[in-house]
Structure 1
């Protein structure tokens, strides 16, 4: 459960009742030792913890325009992240406040650039029905029209279906309404959605006014602004019809910051503690506020770069290691779910689709591989297990124990000096310097004496945009199935003297499943 930054090696130890009297010899000083033991703690990982956030404009490019036959590759890629679960999909994002469903007698507002059609609604219904999904649907707040909001809500209920509705989310990042352009006049003048002085109190008035006319439950406050987050408690006290607390988090941004900034998108900044541990800690104070009201708190929009484009980072393998770590960090602070944001053309998009000759094809981006490893390592009902580690740096360790009693351990070697680390589960693991070393991993009574399995997440380098593999498999340049393909290289680790031995190369991750 605890995160440790370790550098040359990592030793993973799965202990429950280990007293130090094992028959295994004490590891030398240059051996990193990771201990995984004790009782599982914290709340269980909720079904649908790992969700997706999609722009309105992503539905047709991802799922197609035929509600009778939605893109099966897209559906499978969603299922991979939610095996035997109802996926949580949030549909909105920036396009929430650009969209409308035409209402008789209502003129199209100037800021509208996305029209939600009956076909769009039918495709969204088909996606939800095929997946058994739960949806958080965005409602335009920036247009400041009760009739428009009611028209959208009615269309969602009637044409998508209330059984699939988790909540209606009013607006998107309203903290930007008074400073960001909503539309541009023919004269070139920029028009904002609200006056420059628009603040949290103004938003709360708007939310309350709109909420009265909408069916519940509602989601909000849908912001990640540091100056607005502390108002979460006030928001919840004022809005009893809120059913899901939704906040946003991004670790880095291209806009408005110099390249020297610690939040500018570089591989080093994305792997820094501030981008994962710090990101989760910034949300931690608001989790108990939500839970005190028996409400779930979801980070219903999260990815790497919040503004601008960051090629070589947001679309590269480094984003997979970041996502894997960041999701565990959010679970650590008690968040109930995270929706990773994606849409066509985004630098951080998870996948892209084409359709031809009656067949769908998908290009799957590196970050997705990190999400799939997390889904394997943290199934619903599992809980984080405490870990300790010594004699290492640059390695992060997470462990979970499932409802069936299975212990899974994830190690991420984030060393930027390309050193190889050793990882183990049980008593001790050995590590060494650059050039590749072996690790000895011991197991206590909790782990047993049987074989463990080792699955690796790898790529040629942090900046790689292709060549990523999970357990030796990948999606290739294109996939027509949405499933990992190729020869599986999940290794069986046989114990030797109650230890498992293996290496953890730099810039890689491993998932060890104990017997």
Structure 2
């Protein structure tokens, strides 16, 4: 037997126990004989492409190698939530708005005409499609997603709580059962999807409700749920009965019918179905609720929740003031459209005002009957949003202005919708299931807007909002004043323009009280300012709030990164003025007292640690700093490899190899997955940063026979 054959035989005996068979849960199915047959072949140097620098890799399917702008319709074939295409920022408006203007307001809220009703800090909450609860909230009541807990903690510690709706189209046909195979909490039946939007039919267990309850035990979270409304002859109240018993005071209410004005279009009701038919069905449900002893609370039904085909007044004419008067506002735009053409329409104060205008009469009706009026599900656009808009910094400025405009117009809350990974507008997105071991979450720009609104309104639940029609009502420089406990507490100043030169950074001269209002001067000796900032309205990753970020794509664990920066601006109390600059683009939150700042800014945010992990089979760890800077051995193979790019001149050079057992052991120890501060290698990916001694071995033994990526 030749030396090579003896080496193969010895290695076979050593390696075979190390590789799991086909039934192994890790599913790393590498037959040792195939692996060893690759060893014996005349080696041909495979090209290895190195992405990134210093060990930082970027999967080429998602992130561009350089920042580029597109002037055409963005084209991307991957998951929309990770679309790397960046639009060119819209040009500056013509004429340009003035960059110097004054905002003079009374200090006493009683002197302000047109203030909103008192608003709660929980104004901005979230709407989570029921079918993606597992991806975003947790696998079950025991395994909760740590990034989700951290993100909700950010909002709750500023607003006092966070309101979340779990439902949507998938709630309409959902069926609650006692148990599912393999202990699942939710099961999707995509084969029986009856909705033109490809909404799956869900089966779920009470474990879903227990999971929500456990979230509430860790973070002050309140929940909206929905009663299935597809069969009005046999209402399925199991979800409501279980939620009442399990969630208790953490249950806010039940939605009755999701977008009933679209039932006919989606084939769920006859073509002549109208709001009057809906009211009749709602009456049937209320009768059934009244007869159900397991419904201890009977005034928490949410209706009508319409998309927009039925007018608000028509929907109210026979509505239900004795129960709840709530409404779902339609999305501002219907996609698909050319995002480049649509982008400028979001970067103006007129956008939020025009969306809210049709509902001003409805908010007045809600006040007369003492009921809340919710925008129950919204975002930048329907059908998943616009790539390059919904996932760019401009959407954060838009959502900030839109949210405060709704608060000023006497909506009592708004829920920003989160769907799956095939949409652009998510406030937060978990990584694809097969990438959770080495990728973290992605935070959408509108989540930052929710944070700013929470801080702007505070947690006293006494905040009243005023649209200042700033800068002679210029649509590119809106501003709001916020009164708390009867006095001026904060201002929000927004700049929708993008100008890296700084020429369109504006300076607002703020004045509070004074003789013109019959008050004493009320400008403090200094104000504190936080900035929502980014280089461009098109930016997707480099977004900060008070100099802190939640991370770029696949980089977020729900915790702030960086140190918070709060600017102190000295004021002229003699002149009763204070000058605050707002960059283009950006927004400033101005605090008129230390108390207003302290109330909105927690000294520390509770975060949650990982206490359980999955995918721990066949892993080892390597210090990434060592891996990133290692050249390996003596570099003798560099001349053979010549380069690391595909097609490089030396990449196809043939040579024989005789790796040692020690080299083999080092590679086996390196077959691990990148996670947190440790590096691990796993199969089925393509990226490639290794010390050269490992690169040679992995290229020869694995990459030619198996689809490996080493991160």
Structure 2 residue aligned with 1:351: 428
Whole-angstrom CA distance in 2 between matches of 1:375 and 1:267: 26
Determine if contact 2:387/2:424 at 8 Å carries over to the other structure: yes
Assess, with a 3 A threshold, how the Cα gap between structure 1 residues 502 and 134 changes in structure 2: closer, same or farther.
closer
In structure 2, how many angstroms separate the alpha carbons of the residues matched to 1:276 and 1:297? Answer: 17
| C-alpha distance 446-143 of structure 1, shift in aligned 2 (>3 A) | farther
Alpha-carbon separation, structure 2, partners of 1:241 and 1:469: 44
* Corresponding position of 1:91: 166
Flag the 1:80–1:446 CA change in 2: closer, same or farther, 3 A. farther
* SS across alignment from 2:425: coil
Equivalent residue, structure 1, for 2:271: 196
Whether the aligned pair in 2 keeps the contact of 1:38 and 1:386 (CA below 8 Å) is: no
| Separation (CA, whole Å) in 2 of partners of 1:388 and 1:254 | 30
Q: 1:461 matched to which residue of 2?
A: 536
CA deviations on 1:314-334 (whole Å, 9 max, x unpaired) are 111111011000011111111
Please identify, of 79-88 and 304-313, the stretch whose mean Cα deviation from structure 2 is larger. 79-88
* Alpha-carbon distance between aligned partners in 2 of 1:202 and 1:212, rounded to the nearest angstrom: 16
2:480 is matched with which residue: 385, 398, 401?
A: 398
Corresponding position of 1:248: 329
Contact (CA 8 Å) 1:252, 1:270: kept in 2 or not?
no
Query: Corresponding residue for 1:375?
Result: 454
| Match of residue 55 from structure 1 | 129
CA–CA separation in structure 1 for the residues paired with 2:202 and 2:107: 59
What is the SS of the residue equivalent to 1:465? coil
Q: Partner of 1:490 in structure 2?
A: 566
1:205-231 CA-partner distances (Å, limit 9, x unpaired): 122112221242211100031434222
Aligned to 2:152: 78
Aligned to 1:414: 496
Q: Which residue of the partner structure matches residue 263 of structure 2?
A: 177
Tell me the distance in 2 between the aligned counterparts of 1:421 and 1:110.
51
Is the CA contact 1:60–1:123 (under 8 Å) kept in the aligned structure 2?
Answer: no
Q: Determine the C-alpha separation between the residues in 2 that align with 1:273 and 1:391.
A: 12
More off after superposition, 83-92 vs 202-211: 83-92
Q: Which piece of structure 1 moves more, 504-513 or 121-130?
A: 121-130
**In 2, Cα distance between the equivalents of 1:95 and 1:395?**
39
Offset from partner CA, 1:80-123 (integer Å, 9 cap, x none): 2332523222221121224221389xxx9874611122322221
Are 2:360 and 2:409, in contact at CA under 8 Å, matched by a contact in 1? yes
* Aligned residues of 2:546 and 2:566 also touching (Cα < 8 A): yes
Q: Which moved more, 1:416-425 or 1:278-287?
A: 416-425
Q: Tell me if structure 2 keeps the 8 A contact 1:320–1:367.
A: yes
- Which of structures 1 and 2 has the bigger CA Rg? 2
Higher helix share: 2
1:126 matches 2:207: no
Q: Answer yes or no: is the 8 Å Cα contact 1:395–1:412 preserved in 2.
A: yes
CA contact (8 A) 1:45 1:378 kept: yes
- Aligned residues of 1:15 and 1:38 also touching (Cα < 8 A): no
5 Å matches for 1:212-361?
212-214=287-289, 215=295, 216=298, 217-236=300-319, 239=320, 242-255=323-336, 259=338, 266-345=342-421, 346-354=423-431, 361=440
User: Quick check: 1:168 aligned with 2:259?
Assistant: no
**CA 1:302 to 1:17, structure 2 compared with 1: closer, same or farther past 3 Å?**
closer
Cα distance in 1, alignment partners of residues 483 and 327 from structure 2: 27
Q: Conserved in 2, the CA contact under 8 Å of 1:74 and 1:482?
A: yes
Cα distance in 2, alignment partners of residues 101 and 6 from structure 1: 57
| CA gap 1:203/1:16 in 2 versus in 1, 3 angstroms | closer
Task: Flag the 1:446–1:54 CA change in 2: closer, same or farther, 3 A.
Answer: farther
Distance of aligned partners of 1:138 and 1:6 in 2 relative to their CA distance in 1, 3 Å threshold: farther
Pick aligned residue for 1:426 from 510, 525, 534: 510
Task: Give the drift of 1:447.
Answer: 3.7
For 2:353 and 2:450, locate their aligned partners in 1 and report how far apart those are by CA, in whole Å: 17
2:103 to 13, 26, 41: 13
Going from structure 1 to structure 2, the CA distance change for 1:168 and 1:385 (only over 3 Å counts) comes to: closer
Please say if residues 347 and 497 of structure 2, whose CA atoms lie closer than 8 Å, have aligned partners that are also in contact.
no
Q: State the distance in 1 between where 2:242 and 2:473 align.
A: 56
**Could you tell me how far apart the structure 1 residues matched to 2:520 and 2:144 are?**
49
Change (3 A) 1:127 1:464: same
Q: CA deviation at 1:413?
A: 1.1
Distance 2:256 2:470 in 1: 44
Q: How many residues matched? A: 456
User: What SS does structure 2 have at the residue aligned with 1:222?
Assistant: coil
- Structure 1: runs of 5+ lacking an equivalent: 19-35, 181-191, 429-443
Q: Do the aligned partners of residues 161 and 198 (structure 1) sit closer, same or farther apart at CA in structure 2, a change above 3 Å counting?
A: same
Instruction: Report the Cα offset of residue 385 of structure 1.
Output: 4.2
What do the CA deviations read for 1:336-373 (whole angstroms, capped 9, x no partner)?
11111112322100112359999994321211112211
Residues 363-389 of structure 1: CA distance to partner in whole angstroms, max 9, x if unpaired? 212111122111111223111246364
1:397 Cα deviation (Å)? 0.7
Per-residue deviation at 1:265?
7.2
Question: How far apart are residue 38 of structure 1 and its match?
Answer: 4.2
Q: Does structure 2 retain, via aligned residues, the 8 Å contact 1:302–1:339?
A: yes
Q: Secondary structure at the match of 2:430?
A: strand
Which residue number in structure 1 is paired with residue 611 of structure 2? none
**Is residue 155–residue 161 contact of structure 2 (8 Å, CA) maintained in 1?**
no
**Structure 2 residues not aligned, in runs of 5+:** 1-94, 180-188, 195-199, 290-294, 513-518, 594-711
Q: Does structure 2 retain, via aligned residues, the 8 Å contact 1:99–1:113?
A: yes
1:152 to 239, 258, 265: 239
1:440 aligned partner = none
> Relative contact order (alpha carbons < 8 A, sep ≥ 6): 1 or 2 greater?
1
- The match for 1:500 among 578, 583, 604 is 578
Question: Cα 1:466–1:129, aligned 2, differ >3 Å: closer, same or farther?
Answer: same
What secondary structure sits across from 2:410 in the alignment? Answer: coil
CA distance in 2, matches of 1:388, 1:341: 28
